[in-house]
Chains A and B, each alone.
Chain A
Amino acid sequence: MQVSMTVNGQQRTDEVEPRTLLAHHLRDNLGLTATNIGCDSTSCGACTVIVDGLTVKSCTVLALQAEGSEVTTLEGLSTDGELHPVQAAFRSEHGLQCGFCTSGMVMAAVGVLADNPNPTDREVREGLEGNLCRCTGYHNIVQAVLKAAESGPAAGQVPSSKQEVSA
């Protein structure tokens, strides 16, 4: 079946199976391999992307369910080579080690900040309860999100079509 969506600002129409997961569509069909698959029980969140302003786990969304949607992946977060505040904060605070959870973690963090621009430590942790990391112990991830929050509302937005990420 055909599916059309806008991914990181680019219109795409592709042929997929009904059962093609959005995560595989992004990775295998569109070559956007930053989004990773870390589990098969919708637990780890490594596959988190933003669809129509909402963070979702792309391993539990059919590509067909994103028909007509605006999808943003990690690759679409920076503008003209300039890092998104969340990306910049993850770097400055050492919020990643092996990097496998990072794509989903960054996207989920953007979602947390969209919902709550000035979260507490606890609120950040609860906002990221759907994202697992084995390397960092989460300490610096939380620091990174708090740091990103300092840069204002841009931390909770995605650039591809200047859409606001809603709660």
Chain B
Amino acid sequence: MSILGTRVVRTEDPLFLTRGAVYTDDLTDERLAGALHATFVRSTVAHGTVTEVDASAAREAPGVVAVYTAADLGDLQPVPPPLPFLDAGFARPWLVPVGGRVHFVGDLLAVVLTEERYQGEDAAEAVVVDIDPLPAVIGTAASATDETVLFPEVGTNKVAAFGEPAPEDFFADCEVVVTRAIANQRVAAAPLETRAASAAWGEDGRVTIWCTNQGAQQAQGQIAGWLGLDPALVHLVTPDVGGGFGAKIGADQEYAFVAWLAKQAERPVRWTESRSENMTGMLQGRAQDQVITIGGDRDGTVKAYSLVVQQDCGAYPRIGTVLPTLTMLMAAAVYDIPKVHAQATCYATNGTSIGAYRGAGRPEATAAAERAMDLFAAEIGMDPADVRRKNFIAPFTQPFTTASGATYDSGDYAAALDRVLEAAGYADLRAEQARRRERGDVRQLGIGVSAYVEITGADSGHGTSENAELEVHPDGTATVLTGTSPHGQGHATTWAMLASEQLGIPVEKITVLHGDTDRIPDGGGTMGSRSLQQGGAAVHQAAVELVEVARKRAAELLEANPDDLEVDLVNAGLSVKGTPGVGMTWAQLAADEQLIVQTTFTANAPTFPFGAHVAVVETDVESGKAVVTRLITVDDAGTIINPLLAEGQRHGGIAQGVGQALLEEILYDEDGNPQTSTFADYPFVSATELPSFELVEMATPTPMNPLGAKGIGEAGTIGSTPAVQSAVVDSVAHLGVRHVDMPATSMRVWRAIREAQKGSTN
């Protein structure tokens, strides 16, 4: 009986639940004995010229071994901007020098090394910093004016631009045209584990760096490059990671800094940031201002759609700069709209830099398309589910290229919608909604429907391929080396399942290793929902290849014809057909010669999971507060290898979508001071704001890999965010409200109701 498709509990858990996982701050490696603690001094001003950084008092503070300011960086070379097309003027210094400009609250000014952890904060406080403030630029609208140019050497705040404006007559043939400016607000990734890194130099001249990240190989390459080191000298190890969500892709300059500090101090150095540091220092997500325009006929046919994006890149442009290209690629979403236009412009501001966050550019596309569909539906007085059905791309099993230029692999959007509506009891919900509206209840029902498709396994720096190594040992156990980088996804369990499927070795006897560049020099990490469809497929392929290697070896040893040998899963080996007692186990075959395979799997192309969500909210129309009472989802990611883990990924994604739709936003005051830099101020969604979710099954395999699997890690977020936003708007639509920006806080809803009732256009 196949193990694939069964609910296998995680092999990671016994350790995680008893001793606890070992995160970077937990490490007790002997190479870190006697480590110093690094504490950074960060700017508390968003934009200004540094006039003083005086470390003299700090150098005298208890336990201080050294303090570095920009003047003390010696041979450290400036780091070029992370993307090749970026103007060199956008580069981020290691530490902002006197005379230089800080660009966000959290920018680095100095770093202190102390003997003990607690001394670090005391010493950092003793560094005297003086900054002459300059006007802060918050948000893309302010940035676009170039009234305050943030990087004088560049001369403009515009970082990049993609696409062209729509032609004037783009909507000329539409009976109805609706346009709206909407926000996809800045949010924090907020993994529970903050950033941390430790470094120790060996006598052999190599440095070992432990850091929390989503791909050791990429981080190694970056750090080596920034420090001007031969990558062979950098041994990067990824300990257990407490969540990443995209914000831990690659290395941050602080990680490289820790390695450099260890070299200077000639002692190991450890660094763990506080949550407050994290809420300003770690890459944040989304931050797109969008203008959506949708046009079509009154019968519900959409003829043209335009999405214009202004992307806030934050202080020093990073990966957030190119995410709008994914937004543009996915602009057509699930719809067969003849004319789709997308355009994006990216701006620097005085906020934290923007990076990838669960979905990374694709949630923004879906949220925009879904909002547009709902606005169109409201304008023509049609049910939002019906409008969607009318415009879906028809079911397809062969590649389909959209008007945005994306080629989807397989999809049946109408079926997904039908399934979710049935599971939700859509007709009953509408009936209940009607009853409450009739009665004028204080608590009104809102039903939000979303349909989505997203791109997974896209090239995020490693093509569409992944490596795996599989070895069976003489004692019958096996080891898998993978180039992925799990941080909660359960790869150790799932990759073991994939190997077990081919070999019959029990999952508990298969160890999966990742994240050590000495053992696994090449790998693509875990991001963009690529891991199963590329990394898992590689493990599967390695297992299949190992069977063939073993077969040839067994044939020789048994003096049998290889075709007469068949896989014997029960005994974990090969046996002669027709003679079950005669054969050899993998363990036996490994006794005298290593039984090992290294392989690379390359997928033809990315894959496109899809689905549909229904969110039900209850809104108190007197206060504006909306509560999610039900969340029903279809998330079709092709073949499911471990349903238990796949559901977990959906749950987590859904919750983050609810968080963005209802609660979360990173806010700055007009001087660029963060208003939401602790978990008390930043409304990170908790258990009491969420219902239990209702997951509906649907699996349309993809031809892009032998497993038939698409990525599932981000899909839940992409579907739930617009569904919840839509539900909130729907709950007060009868009062005249057409739109509420995310997060749809009670205040925003209350205000929207008031304005609608006053008769002002909403």
Contact = CB atoms under 8 A, between A and B. Distances in A.
Interface in B702-734: 716
Most buried by B among A27, A33, A90, A135: A135
Given A40-B275, A94-B644, A128-B687, A134 B19 contact: no
Contacts of B716: 137
Interface stretch (A41-49, A63-71, A153-161): A41-49
A164 B17 CA distance: 21
B23 A97 contact: no
B133 to A, nearest CB: 26
B652 interface: yes
Contacts of A143: 692
A36 B23 contact: yes
Interface string B123-156: 0000000000000000000000000000000000
A143 B651 CA distance: 12
Contact of B679 (A20, A98, A132): A132
A92 B17 contact: no
A100 B21 contact: yes
A160 B645 CA distance: 32
Given A36-B192, A44-B679, A125-B687, A98 B19 contact: no
A135 B652 contact: yes
A160 B13 CA distance: 22
A96 B15 CA distance: 12
Given A44-B192, A75-B19, A129-B687, A94 B655 contact: no
B23 A134 contact: no
Interface in B236-250: 240-243, 245
A132 B684 contact: yes
A75 B20 CA distance: 8
B678 interface: yes
Nearest to A77: B18
A100 B193 contact: yes
A99 interface: yes
A135 B659 CA distance: 12
Nearest to A76: B18
Contact of A98 (B25, B193, B276, B656): B193
Given A40-B276, A43-B678, A142 B687 contact: yes
Contacts of B761: none
A117 B199 CA distance: 47
B652 A137 contact: yes
A75 B1 CA distance: 37
Contacts of A125: 687-688, 690
B591 interface: no
B748 interface: no
B17 A102 contact: yes
A100 B192 contact: yes
A24 B680 CA distance: 21
Most buried by A among B14, B192, B678: B192
Contacts of A140: 647-648, 651
Interface string B254-273: 00000000000000000000
A74 interface: yes
**Prevailing SS type, chain B contact patch:** loop
B124 to A, nearest CB: 14
A123 B681 CA distance: 24
B193 A43 contact: no
A58 interface: no
A12 interface: no
Contacts of A131: 686-687
Most buried by B among A37, A96, A125, A134: A134
Interface in B438-454: none
B2 interface: no
A40 B690 CA distance: 24
Contacts of B192: 36, 38, 44, 46, 98, 100-101, 132-135
B695 to A, nearest CB: 9
B654 interface: yes
Contact of B678 (A17, A41, A139): A41
Contact of A134 (B14, B21, B656): B656
Most buried by B among A27, A43, A77, A129: A43
A29 B22 CA distance: 16
Nearest to B22: A33
A55 interface: no
Nearest to A24: B117
B190 interface: yes
Contacts of B240: 98-99
A135 B243 contact: yes
Contacts of A27: 25-26
B191 A134 contact: yes
Contacts of B648: 94, 97, 135-136, 140
How many B residues touch the partner, as a band? 35 or more
A81 B243 CA distance: 27
B243 A100 contact: yes
A98 B686 CA distance: 17
Interface string A21-41: 000100110010111111111
B117 A98 contact: no
Contact of B488 (A17, A20, A98): A98
Contacts of A5: none
A83 B652 contact: no
Nearest to A42: B680
Contact of A33 (B20, B190, B193, B242): B20
A100 B191 CA distance: 9
A78 interface: yes
A74 B652 contact: no
Given A39-B275, A137-B690, A97 B14 contact: no
A35 B23 CA distance: 11
B437 interface: no
B281 interface: no
B16 interface: yes
Nearest to A98: B488
A109 to B, nearest CB: 11
A72 to B, nearest CB: 13
A15 interface: no
Interface string A90-114: 1110101111111100100000000
Given A39-B679, A94-B644, A142-B692, A34 B19 contact: yes
Contacts of A46: 192
A25 to B, nearest CB: 11
Contact of A91 (B10, B194, B645, B678): B10
A39 B676 CA distance: 13
Contacts of B14: 83, 91
B582 interface: no
Contacts of B193: 36, 38, 98, 100
Contacts of B13: 90-91, 96
A28 B27 CA distance: 11
B301 interface: no
Contacts of A19: 118
B654 A102 contact: no
A133 B644 CA distance: 18
B359 to A, nearest CB: 14
B651 A136 contact: yes
A31 B19 CA distance: 11
Given A74-B18, A97-B489, A98-B242, 11 more contacts: A28-B117, A91-B9, A94-B9, A94-B644, A125-B690, A128-B687, A129-B688, A132-B684, A134-B684, A135-B243, A137-B655
5 contacts: A40-B678, A75-B18, A97-B489, A99-B20, A102-B20
The 6 residue pairs across chains A and B that have the minimum distance between CB atoms: A34-B20, A100-B242, A137-B655, A97-B488, A98-B488, A137-B651
Interface of A: 17, 19-20, 24, 27-28, 31, 33-44, 46, 74-75, 77-78, 83, 87, 90-92, 94, 96-103, 106, 121, 124-126, 128-129, 131-143
